[in-house]
């Protein structure tokens, strides 16, 4: 799988809209590293991808035992109008061949009348895929197996905790 772009709107420390290129410029450089001081959003980037793929099943770093709706609300950037909401989008390819299909997934949520309203949408080859949009959690393992996701998305704190054990 090849990630191309991650877009975030009002997610955690990322106030406003942000777009991050995730595809290396050189083919021989398949690793992307993010560095920064504590509290600058490195783990939030990883959480965004996990939330996009796994929704209510996510194992994001700051979820704890919170109910999903509460987690979504607390993931909104502080100080925004909850009715404006937050969103995450990811463009990716399923395979490594030039013929692999492009996908775009978007998860967005708002809080109105005290309730979280969440939307999820999948585009495949530029066209909305209603089946995947409505049945994503039953099909996500085809793209990113839930049991293996933790092996691919980890930060320095996780490595440190494993080393201490």
79-111 confidence digits (pLDDT tens): 999 999 999 999 998 866 555 689 999 999 999
**For position 24, what pLDDT does the model report?**
77
Please tell me the distance from the alpha carbon of residue 6 to that of residue 106, in angstroms, as a whole number.
Answer: 10
- Residue 134: both structure tokens together: 């409505």
Q: Which residues of the chain have pLDDT under 50?
A: none
- Residue 43: both structure tokens together: 């783990």
**For position 130, what pLDDT does the model report?**
96
| Contacts made by residues 49-54, CB under 8 angstroms, sequence distance 24+ | 49/3, 49/6, 49/90, 49/153, 50/149, 50/153, 51/75, 51/88, 51/107, 52/88, 52/89, 52/90, 52/105, 52/107, 53/105, 53/140, 53/143, 53/144, 53/149, 54/137, 54/140, 54/146, 54/149
Report which DSSP code applies to 114.
T
**For position 65, what pLDDT does the model report?**
75
**For position 101, what pLDDT does the model report?**
80
A 10 A CB-CB count for 135 gives 12
Q: Report helix, strand or coil for 99.
A: coil
Question: Which are the contacts of 11, defined by CB distance < 8 A and separation ≥ 6?
Answer: 44, 48, 75, 76, 77, 86, 87, 88
**For position 158, what pLDDT does the model report?**
61
With a threshold of 0.85, does the pTM exceed it?
no
Q: What are phi and psi of 20, to 5 degrees?
A: -125, 125
């Amino acid at each position: 799988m090849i990630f191309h772009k991650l877009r975030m709107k009002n997610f955690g420390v990322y106030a406003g809209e942000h777009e991050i290129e995730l595809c290396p410029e050189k083919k021989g450089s398949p690793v992307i590293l993010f560095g920064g001081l504590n509290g600058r959003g490195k783990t939030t980037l990883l959480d965004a991808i996990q939330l996009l793929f796994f929704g209510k099943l996510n194992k994001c770093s700051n979820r704890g035992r919170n109910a999903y709706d509460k987690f979504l609300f607390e993931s909104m950037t502080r100080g925004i109008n909850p009715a404006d909401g937050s969103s995450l989008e990811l463009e990716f390819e399923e395979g490594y061949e030039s013929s692999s299909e492009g996908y775009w997934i978007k998860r967005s949520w708002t809080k109105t009348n005290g309730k979280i309203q969440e939307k999820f949408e999948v585009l495949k080859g530029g066209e909305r895929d209603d089946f995947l949009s409505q049945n994503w959690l039953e099909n996500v393992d085809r793209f990113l197996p839930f049991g293996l996701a933790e092996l691919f998305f980890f930060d320095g704190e996780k490595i440190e905790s494993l080393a201490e054990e």
